[in-house]
A and B are shown apart, each in its own frame.
Chain A
C-alpha cells in the first residue's frame, strides 16, 4: 500500500500535474487571502475558505483524473493486479497518494495564518476545525472522482464528468431551496457538502458532519474496489 502511495505521489511530480495543481491552488488562495484578509483588515479567514471551495471543486478532478484511467490505458493495472497485494490496498494506496497532494495544497493556509500573526491574533482553533473540514470534504471529493476515473479509460472523460459532478455538489445547497417539497429539500440539504462544511468553518466539529464525509469516502472507495472486481469477471 505504501509502495503504491509513494509511486502515486511521485508520479504527480514526475509530470507537470503536481506543480500545476500546487501553483493554481497557491495563486488563487494567495489572491483571496490578499483580497479578503489583508485588504479588508480582518483576521477571519472565513471568506478565503468559502471562496476556495469553487477552486477545490475544480482542482480535485485534475488530481484524480489519471489515477485509474491511465493505468487501464497503459495496461499498468496488470502489474498491480498480479502483485501480491489486495484490491483494497491498491485503492487505498491511490487514494492516500491523491489525498497527500491535497494536504500539500492546504498546508499553505498555515503560512497565511502566520502572516496574520503580524497584524493580529488569528483564531487557531477555528482555523484547525476549518482545515479538518476542508480535508474531510476534499477526501470525499477525491473518493468520488477516483470512482469516476475507475469507470473510464480516458482522462478527459474522467475530468469532465468529475467537474460536472463537483459543480452539482457545489450547487446542492442552493438547489435545495428551489424545491417546495419539504422531504426533498431536507435530503438535498443533508447531503450538501456546503452545509456540512459550514459547521467546520464556524468552529463546530459536528460528529454528524465528520461521519458524513468519512462515509462518503468509505462508500466510494468500496465502489472502486467493486469496479476492479467486476472487471476480472467480464
Chain B
C-alpha cells in the first residue's frame, strides 16, 4: 500500500533522513516511533508531498508522490503535527472548504455530518475554530484528514497535548479506523504505540533502527529470545534449574525474585523451564516473553544511535 524506498533528505549539510526504507501493507496500523527530532515529521511530510526528498521515492498504492502528486495525494488523509486550521472559520465552513479542496465526490452534507460524528465534534459545528480548545482543534484536524474516506491515513503525533480521556478516545478511534484504512502514525509515547499498532518502525537520528511487529521488537534488539521470570526460591537453586534446560544461554538475576533468561529463539524453552523449576520446588510466580519492555528497547536502540 505504502512504499518508502531509500529516502534521503538533507537540510543544508545536515542529513535529516538517511536512506530510509519501509513499507506498510493494506489495513495495517504502523507506528513511527522515535525521540523528538529523529525525523518522524520529516518522513511524514515527504510521504504526503509537502516536502521533497533529495533521493528516493515514495509510492502510495503504486503511485509516485512526485510524478503524479494529484492522484497520490487524493489517496492520503494527513493530520500534521499542528492541525492546519483557519482560525477565523467555523468548524462546518472549514470542513466544507476541505471537502471542496479535496474534490470529494460524496454527498456533501451527509458525509461531513458522518465524519463529525465519528470524531465527536458535532456539538461545535457552528463555533469559530479560534475559540476551540486544543482537544477539539485536534479532532477538527482529524475530521479534515478523514474527509473523502482516503485509504491511507497519516497522523503526526495525534495525541500530543490532549488530556488522558481524549487520548484514549483518539486511540480507540485509530484502532477502529485501522480496520478500513492503512494508518501510519507517529508518536514518542511508547505505551501508545504498543496499544494501537501492529508494527513499529523506530527512527533515531534519521535512520531506521528497528522494524518489526510490536510484540517482536524486543527480540530484534537482543537478537535472541528473552523471558522475564519471577521465581520463589534460593537464587542458586533457581539458576541451576534454569541453566539445565537445553536452549538456555544465560540467566541474569534482577531485583527481588525477578530473573531474565536469554535463550536460543529457535526453541521454546518455557515448558522445560516450568518442569525444571517444579522439580526443584521453586514455584514460578510470573513468566513473560520478551525480556525487554518496549520502553527498554526504545532506550537501548535510540541511545545506541548516538554513540
Scoring A residues 187 to 213 as 1 if CB is less than 8 Å from chain B, else 0, what string do you get? Answer: 000000000000000000000000000
Check B71 against A74 for contact (C-beta < 8 Å): no
Chain A hits for B124, CB < 8 A:
none
A71-112 with Cβ < 8 A to chain B: 74-86
B71-114 with Cβ < 8 A to chain A: 71, 73-74, 76, 78, 80, 82, 84-89, 93, 97-98, 100-103
B4-54 with Cβ < 8 A to chain A: 11, 48-52
Task: Judge whether B217 is part of the interface by a CB distance below 8 angstroms.
Answer: no
Check B84 against A79 for contact (C-beta < 8 Å): yes
Chain A hits for B51, CB < 8 A:
232-233
A1-56 with Cβ < 8 A to chain B: 2-4, 6-7, 10-11, 14-15
Check B101 against A77 for contact (C-beta < 8 Å): no
Partner of A74, one of B52, B70, B74, B87: B87
**Interface size of A in residues (CB-CB distance below 8 Å):** 25
Chain B nearest CB, measured from A15 CB (Å): 6
In the bound complex, what is the Cα–Cα distance between A85 and B86 (angstroms)?
18
Chain B hits for A79, CB < 8 A:
84, 98, 101, 144
Beyond A7-B97, A79-B144, whether A84 also contacts B73 by CB under 8 A is yes
Chain A hits for B97, CB < 8 A:
3, 6-7
Check B78 against A82 for contact (C-beta < 8 Å): yes
In the bound complex, what is the Cα–Cα distance between A169 and B85 (angstroms)?
36
Check A84 against B84 for contact (C-beta < 8 Å): no
Partner of A78, one of B84, B88, B101: B84
Check B89 against A14 for contact (C-beta < 8 Å): yes
In the bound complex, what is the Cα–Cα distance between A179 and B103 (angstroms)?
54
Partner of A85, one of B70, B76, B84: B70
Chain A nearest CB, measured from B155 CB (Å): 13
Check A14 against B82 for contact (C-beta < 8 Å): no
Chain B hits for A82, CB < 8 A:
48-50, 73, 76, 78, 80
Chain A hits for B144, CB < 8 A:
79
Chain B nearest CB, measured from A90 CB (Å): 9
Chain B nearest CB, measured from A91 CB (Å): 14
Partner of B52, one of A11, A15, A78, A233: A233
A60-80 with Cβ < 8 A to chain B: 74-80
In the bound complex, what is the Cα–Cα distance between A40 and B288 (angstroms)?
97
In the bound complex, what is the Cα–Cα distance between A234 and B52 (angstroms)?
9
Beyond A81-B49, A83-B101, whether A75 also contacts B89 by CB under 8 A is no
Chain A nearest CB, measured from B54 CB (Å): 8
Chain A nearest CB, measured from B16 CB (Å): 12
Check B74 against A84 for contact (C-beta < 8 Å): yes
Check B101 against A11 for contact (C-beta < 8 Å): no
In the bound complex, what is the Cα–Cα distance between A6 and B50 (angstroms)?
23
Check A11 against B88 for contact (C-beta < 8 Å): yes
In the bound complex, what is the Cα–Cα distance between A3 and B148 (angstroms)?
15
Partner of A4, one of B76, B80, B84, B101: B101
Chain A nearest CB, measured from B40 CB (Å): 15
Chain A hits for B80, CB < 8 A:
75, 78, 82
Chain B nearest CB, measured from A102 CB (Å): 20
Chain B hits for A4, CB < 8 A:
101
Chain A hits for B70, CB < 8 A:
84-86
Chain B hits for A86, CB < 8 A:
69-70
Chain B hits for A78, CB < 8 A:
50, 78, 80, 84
Check B102 against A75 for contact (C-beta < 8 Å): no
Check B48 against A84 for contact (C-beta < 8 Å): no
In the bound complex, what is the Cα–Cα distance between A79 and B140 (angstroms)?
13
Check A84 against B88 for contact (C-beta < 8 Å): no
Of all A-B residue pairs in the complex, the 4 with the closest CB atoms, nearest first, are A3-B100, A79-B84, A84-B74, A14-B88
Of the A-B pairs whose beta carbons lie under 8 Å apart in the complex, a sample of 19, sorted by A's number, is: A6-B97, A6-B100, A11-B86, A14-B89, A74-B87, A75-B82, A76-B85, A78-B50, A79-B98, A79-B101, A80-B101, A82-B78, A82-B80, A83-B98, A84-B70, A84-B102, A86-B69, A86-B70, A232-B50
